[in-house]
A and B are shown apart, each in its own frame.
Chain A
């Protein structure tokens, strides 16, 4: 199975900050990577797919980049609604695996 490692596990930031979360794959996954946002008690929400494609309806302050084994999710200017957990997911081969998550705190 492909292992996905996110860093940091926890990130403290303030409204207006620019933040970056990193996801590393244990082997090359080309650009078959997605990012999700999850709030407590809620289902995940798709933000980015194919490493850099913004899902419809997601604010443009979210962006993704990377290929191969290293990927980033950037939030250009944090808004109060962005404080949540974030997960990356690879989808090259089954089983599709997720990173362990990054909790974004105020």
Chain B
């Protein structure tokens, strides 16, 4: 069965970076885009960007363009999201999600369990 398993909770200081991993199983990793979506405590969902695991190509939301990096390691079917220069506003649950294969539909049929990143001095 399809699964996305994320790394554990992180506590980081302002100005530091956080790197979250997302290990895929149960499907061909390189056939589906992986997206990253975050959710601040008690807030809604915010799209951060996506990576094509086949090519490594990325698209980032302009809001995060200068401080997010999405990568992948196809040998271990894992995607990564690193966010730099953290502030308290970056405290959130970070989700990875798989994009459906239906052409034109940028929607997400499988999600990781989420990784809480807390930014605190």
Contact = CB atoms under 8 A, between A and B. Distances in A.
A94 B44 CA distance: 17
Interface in A68-100: 87, 89, 91, 94-100
B52 to A, nearest CB: 14
Contact of B62 (A45, A91, A95, A100): A95
Q: Is the interface of A mostly helix, strand, loop or mixed?
A: loop
Interface string B63-83: 100000000000000000000
B47 interface: yes
Contact of A46 (B47, B63, B108): B108
A55 interface: yes
Contacts of A55: 109
A99 B107 contact: no
Contacts of B47: 94-98
A9 to B, nearest CB: 11
26 contacts: A36-B45, A43-B95, A43-B113, A44-B108, A44-B111, A45-B111, A46-B108, A46-B109, A49-B100, A49-B105, A49-B107, A50-B104, A87-B45, A91-B105, A91-B106, A94-B61, A95-B61, A95-B62, A95-B63, A96-B47, A96-B106, A98-B44, A98-B45, A98-B46, A99-B44, A100-B44
Interface of A: 32, 34, 36, 43-46, 49-50, 55, 87, 89, 91, 94-101
